[in-house]
Chains A and B, each alone.
Chain A
């Protein structure tokens, strides 16, 4: 068929077995969770050197749990299962995640997993942008033991992450958001299955006087090789009253935060403009969600 060097499709029962298989096959090993990204690589002929597909669906890494106030999304939890979680649907602090999960079509939500969406390291994906805004931490296990890798700094380039060879994501931990925090996410795309032109995830924390006590803004889509933290826009907002004037200043500042690409979907100038507009809209929505 299409993987000329494939020897077998494995369905290990434990993480240790999966890691051992990865070590055995080295460069030829390919982990498969939902397979929705893997398939895209396969049809583009990018997996010709793969000797082993290693399905991680039976490792027991699915499901959502709580450790105190920290929420842990198991690596093989589907996007649909996260979208159905009560706290995602209800709490303003998870607004960006909730919004992001509405974009993939049902077929992708039902198959795609949290771990796969993060490991793919494609800034075009929406869910990791929301997780970045939430300050999430990737949990892994591998030949050298367990690690916790903050998503800030996890993405190293297009399709490149901080994962070491043979390292497996076991889950993504979301630290408890501070009180009076709300998020929102927006993406511009041409249709449900095209790549993002620009996406913006905003996370806003207000103090008792309505000032911005903390803010995290993440840009995705055709904004570069990885997600971008919009530090200029964040600085423009920090400590300000959360009003339209501050939001407009941030919308202006954000255009200096990234070097967008130009392609048939949109020019760099267009992407800069849209980032400003969408930033303003996500901030406004986040503020509304705080009531």
Chain B
């Protein structure tokens, strides 16, 4: 299989990459760009821990071919905030509300929640739960995640 040369815009930076034509966006982010915030969970679009934004909307990066993501703006959890650059209010709220246990789902949860907060300033509980319906958490029972998203909204 011949590699494909593509340019990917990730977190505002362009990367020239040689990828396999069937490589997923998730694989490229993790294995070629060392962005390990997006996690490999089910790898079949069901658990949500690989969630990233493409052109400002949340998608499962495991289901998107990297070659098909060329020309689109990709944002990972690393792009919304970090300890070095300052945490995003969702990241701070997840810490403050204790919304993290094993942490595997957290990055995907925050990316799903971010789309909600980008469009709805003060979401109600139903809207919050629907926004994260495509993200599984096996530890928290979701309550503290919902609390964290509400807290982040209140701090806007």
- Which residues in A have some Cβ–Cβ distance to B below 8 Å? 1-3, 6-9, 11, 32, 34-36, 39-40, 42-43, 53, 55, 57, 80, 102, 105-108, 110-111, 192-193
Contacts and interface: CB of A to CB of B under 8 A. Distances in A.
Interface stretch (B9-17, B43-51, B74-82, B88-96): B43-51
Contacts of B21: 3, 6-9, 53
B68 A9 contact: yes
Contacts, number: 94
A24 to B, nearest CB: 16
B137 interface: no
A107 B68 contact: no
A107 B1 contact: no
Contacts of A80: 57
A53 B22 contact: yes
Contact of A111 (B24, B60, B115, B131): B60
List the 7 closest pairs (A to B, CB-CB), nearest first: A105-B134, A9-B21, A192-B133, A9-B67, A39-B63, A110-B57, A193-B46
B151 interface: no
Given A9-B68, A32-B65, A111-B60, A106 B112 contact: yes
Interface string B116-139: 000000000000001101111000
A188 to B, nearest CB: 15
Q: Classify chain B: how many residues form its interface, as a range.
A: 35 or more
B64 interface: yes
A39 B131 contact: no
28 contacts: A1-B1, A1-B22, A1-B23, A2-B22, A3-B21, A8-B2, A9-B68, A11-B70, A35-B63, A35-B64, A35-B65, A35-B68, A39-B62, A39-B63, A40-B44, A53-B65, A53-B67, A55-B65, A55-B67, A105-B133, A106-B58, A106-B115, A107-B58, A107-B59, A108-B60, A110-B57, A111-B54, A193-B45
B147 interface: no
Contacts of B59: 107, 110-111
A107 B20 contact: no
Nearest to A58: B71
Nearest to B53: A110
Nearest to B134: A105
A62 to B, nearest CB: 12
B95 to A, nearest CB: 24
Residue among B4, B48, B68, B135 facing the most chain A CB atoms (10 A cut-off) = B68
A53 B51 CA distance: 23
A107 B134 contact: yes
A32 B22 CA distance: 12
A34 B69 CA distance: 11
A35 B115 CA distance: 21
